[in-house]
Structure 1
Amino acid sequence: MTSDNSIGNHIQVVLIDDDAHLRQALSQTLDLAGLKVLSLGDANGLATRIPHDWPGVLVSDIRMPGLDGLQLLQQLHEQDAELPVLLITGHGDVPLAVQAMRAGAYDFLEKPFANDTLLDSVRRALAVRQLVLDNRSLRLALADRQELAGRLIGQSPAMRRLHEQIGALAGINSDVLILGETGTGKEVVARALHDLSSRRNGPFVAINAGALAESVVESELFGHEPGAFTGASRRRIGKFEFANGGTLFLDEIESMSLEVQVKLLRLLQERVVERLGGNQSIALDIRVIAATKEDLRQAADQGRFRADLYYRLNVAPLRIPPLRERGEDPLLLFQHFAMGASSRHGLPTRELPAGQRAMLLRHAWPGNVRELQNAAERFALGLDLELEPGQEGLTDSAALSGNLGVQVEAFERALIAAELDHPHNSLRSLAEALGIPRKTLHDKLRKHGLSFTPVGGSSPEDLD
């Protein structure tokens, strides 16, 4: 953590020399070359003012009262061994400068030196520094992607899009609304957004609004002062205040009462909180990630959710695809969870038969990843793979006894039937969702005995 008077990123060169005349002359040379310079008469306390990823370089005399150039070099490289430090030496200090080079100094300039010599060395050092910072940024981005891939397993296009969206949203401070069915992993996504953000060292506070009794939800979220209500004998810090400097994840936001929604809207707009029974407005530095399994727009139209709060939250929506839309991801997830369970219980890893792999792909997974994880746990323990009934036809065990053609037909019918459960206003829309021509879809509907009813009724154009 840097101090309040840390060197800003707009400063490109910090020049330290106790000789005021030389310092002024060198500062002018650097300034005329278009470089932003901070000149100092001594190096005392300077190391604590340099941020870890500061994009500049230092030019320092070796012999100075107090902290000398070699001591400064040591302090700076304890914090960042790749920070370029250029040392200015007198003729008698050359052996000392050579020693400093071996200790990690970028360059040394022997007095007297030409202005062009100084500018050339500084510019090369700045280029090296930028390359170091770019490489750090790339390594961090790669590490973040690898970490995200380890948390949200999947190779389907839907999951690749989700990874890209999380990567884009993690680096900004905007509040996020996560949309997803039960069991899709909304808290996993919320924690990934926090851990990949600049708030990663702050608290991550998760609260399920649907699990809180109406009588305590305001106290839990906003806190209270002594005497705010019967039984409130001590001050309580609410979840929002506790999350200050970090992220608050509010799941099942649709279950909050309209009265609490009003207070949440004010908090999101003004970034302040007032404890129940208190008059003091407490400033907050938090990111709020809300999650819901419902259509909040529809809930707002029905008067169950405030429209202004919906629009305030819907700035950065993030939809988690249900498992039935994730192609072959169920197989990857099942293997991952089964291997983890086998390892925890000290059991050998079981091979999943081909017929059961097909069954995993046909299943609708109404409980999504949570349901799949439970199924993998049972399988790892040696129990039969029994799936809860999902959408009609997706778990038809009779198809498992047929040949490959029968299983492919059953799988095709299951995919079309699953998409029919989604609202579409035309056959063209349904065909585009399945990625096949409209005439092909029309033939397959007849073949499998399926019917299509567009949203809002039907017309010849809708059905043809």
Structure 2
Amino acid sequence: MMSPATSLMPDSPAPQRVVFVDDDPALREANSQTLELAGMDVTALPNARAALDLLTADFSGVVVTDVRMPGIDGLQLFRALHERDPDLPVILVTGHGDIGMAVEAMRQGAYDFIPKPYPADRLLATVRNALDKRRLVLENRQLKQLANDAGASLPLIGDTAVMQRLRRTVRHLADADVDVLIEGETGTGKEVVATALHQWSSRRREHAFVAVNCGALPEAVIESELFGHEPGAFTGAQRKRVGRIEHANKGTLFLDEIESMPVMLQVKLLRVLEAREVSPLGTNDVRPVDLRVVAATKVDLSDPAQRGDFREDLFHRLNVVTLRLPPLRERRDDVGLLFSYFLSRAAARFKMPVPDVSDGVRAYLRAHRWPGNVRELAHFAERVALGLAEEGMEGSRTRPDHTGDAGATLPQRMERYEATLIRDALATYRGDVRATLQALGIPRKTFYDKLQRHGIDRAAFELPGD
């Protein structure tokens, strides 16, 4: 079966398979030659029985059959194939008196009919259209199967060896009930993997998957968010609050961007991991918790230079099992498959038909390095679904455009390059300020000052419905 990755990013054209059924040897030979000269892989058969013996439901091509044949005729062949696979394109070749029957067969699901006599280009055009339809049907089937394998809403999609190993490892670890540390660049799908660990485990039946982004919560509230508090624990604490850790009891606690956790809380988290108990603010009570902890980081915590203020003992406690998620540039063969999945999902979300993929988009999928990884690819697919692909490709340049630099001073060139990098980050993260700030590594005020200086409208990078 031809994969979406192959169809979107082909290194060489995939074979276009056609089964041509006709009991007339001369017509069979002439039409086979026409199709072969057009680059198709043709299997010519003298009768319907031979076709039924050969064809299976996963046949990747199309069938062209004459209607008038001895024994099993073309209409009977169509109906038998339709029972095996209703989406298999069957093209009927009819004489003048058979057109009415052919039209009725189309109502029943036949792809098309060609009345005799017909020019070669009529046959070629119909077969090519049918092959395109067959390719899309098989791509969608594969995507659905991959989604089922990954767990419905958990698109751990990829045919590369590294993704196949990752799926096997996640399934193996799901019920092992050990804490897991996930390492990967921004946008590689760390939360997707964490969710899969929960959904594929027995804990999914007990309690929730509780996610906490340690980098998004202000330091003043993160302790209360994680550990909870009793009334009067601090100014403004009027009611009891169950913390995220306690809320995850019997379930899974996902700590994203764990490297951003304040140092003062790391000691308390270490206690939770070692004793499996939590003490809310404002009380001496110790409450046992039964939970799996999955932490995610975008830096290598085993490297002291990258670890920074992160406690080494906490790292070793989290590092029971470590999963490393590869960046998209290390599994480029998955780009086409992922893009097909995200494009179909985006079209459904926007209630639009799945658009044709232009040659420009195909070239971009091959050439772009995807610094924002799977998240960037998903956003690009949404722009393609909305017909904004050209703007997305323009806004997501990964290299500076030196057009017009002739005669410019070095400071002017640096200004242009800076503006390009800011637009690149905004396009990657669809105008999300926090993610863009994180990618650029600059303070919020500096970011807005630069937007104003370069005349960049952040809102222009947001998609409708975000």
* TM-score relative to the length of structure 2: 0.51
SS at match of 1:373: helix
* C-alpha spacing 1:265/1:300, structure 2 compared with 1 (3 Å): farther
Match of 1:366 in 2: 371
Report the Cα offset of residue 345 of structure 1.
2.5
Q: In 1, are the aligned partners of 2:147 and 2:157 still within 8 Å (CA)? A: no
* C-alpha spacing 1:300/1:264, structure 2 compared with 1 (3 Å): farther
* C-alpha spacing 1:205/1:378, structure 2 compared with 1 (3 Å): same
Match of 1:264 in 2: 269
SS at match of 1:216: helix
More deviation in 310-319 or 379-388?
379-388
1:213 aligns with 2:218: yes
1:382 aligns with 2:387: yes
Match of 1:188 in 2: 192
* C-alpha spacing 1:334/1:208, structure 2 compared with 1 (3 Å): same
Match of 1:314 in 2: 319
Query: Cα deviations across residues 206-228 of structure 1 (Å, max 9, x unaligned)?
Result: 11111111011110000111221
* C-alpha spacing 1:243/1:280, structure 2 compared with 1 (3 Å): same
Match of 1:175 in 2: 179
SS at match of 1:163: helix
Report the Cα offset of residue 146 of structure 1.
4.9
Give the Cα–Cα distance (whole angstroms) in 2 for the partners of residues 323 and 166 of structure 1: 19
Give the Cα–Cα distance (whole angstroms) in 1 for the partners of residues 306 and 157 of structure 2: 36
Structure 1 residues not aligned, in runs of 5+: 1-141, 397-464
Report the Cα offset of residue 196 of structure 1.
0.3
Match of 1:157 in 2: 161
Match of 2:260 in 1: 255
Structure 2 residues not aligned, in runs of 5+: 1-145, 403-466
Give the Cα–Cα distance (whole angstroms) in 1 for the partners of residues 247 and 286 of structure 2: 15
* C-alpha spacing 1:316/1:239, structure 2 compared with 1 (3 Å): same
Q: Which has the larger radius of gyration?
A: 1
How many residue pairs align between the two structures?
255
Task: Kindly report which structure 2 residues correspond to 1:8-19, keeping only aligned pairs within 5 A, or say none.
Answer: none
SS at match of 2:354: coil
Give the Cα–Cα distance (whole angstroms) in 2 for the partners of residues 179 and 302 of structure 1: 13
Q: In 2, are the aligned partners of 1:224 and 1:238 still within 8 Å (CA)? A: yes
Give the Cα–Cα distance (whole angstroms) in 1 for the partners of residues 249 and 178 of structure 2: 15
* 1:192 aligned partner, one-letter code: A
* 2:287 aligned partner, one-letter code: I
Q: In 1, are the aligned partners of 2:277 and 2:288 still within 8 Å (CA)? A: yes
Output the aligned Cα RMSD.
2.5
Query: Cα deviations across residues 307-350 of structure 1 (Å, max 9, x unaligned)?
Result: 00001111100111111111221111111111222223332222
Give the Cα–Cα distance (whole angstroms) in 1 for the partners of residues 147 and 398 of structure 2: 39
Give the Cα–Cα distance (whole angstroms) in 2 for the partners of residues 384 and 356 of structure 1: 7
Match of 1:222 in 2: 227
Identical counterparts, % of pairs = 55
* C-alpha spacing 1:358/1:381, structure 2 compared with 1 (3 Å): same
SS at match of 1:192: helix
Give the Cα–Cα distance (whole angstroms) in 2 for the partners of residues 177 and 192 of structure 1: 14
* 2:272 aligned partner, one-letter code: L
* C-alpha spacing 1:151/1:384, structure 2 compared with 1 (3 Å): closer
SS at match of 2:212: strand
Match of 2:142 in 1: none
Report the Cα offset of residue 252 of structure 1.
0.6
Report the Cα offset of residue 356 of structure 1.
2.6
Query: Cα deviations across residues 250-279 of structure 1 (Å, max 9, x unaligned)?
Result: 101111111100000010000000011211
Give the Cα–Cα distance (whole angstroms) in 2 for the partners of residues 389 and 341 of structure 1: 19
* TM-score relative to the length of structure 1: 0.52
Query: Cα deviations across residues 128-148 of structure 1 (Å, max 9, x unaligned)?
Result: xxxxxxxxxxxxxx9974527
Query: Cα deviations across residues 284-323 of structure 1 (Å, max 9, x unaligned)?
Result: 1000100111121235776411000001111100111111
SS at match of 2:253: strand
Q: In 1, are the aligned partners of 2:277 and 2:287 still within 8 Å (CA)? A: yes
Give the Cα–Cα distance (whole angstroms) in 2 for the partners of residues 302 and 374 of structure 1: 30
Match of 2:170 in 1: 166
Match of 2:202 in 1: 198
Give the Cα–Cα distance (whole angstroms) in 1 for the partners of residues 149 and 352 of structure 2: 31
* C-alpha spacing 1:369/1:212, structure 2 compared with 1 (3 Å): same
Report the Cα offset of residue 353 of structure 1.
2.8
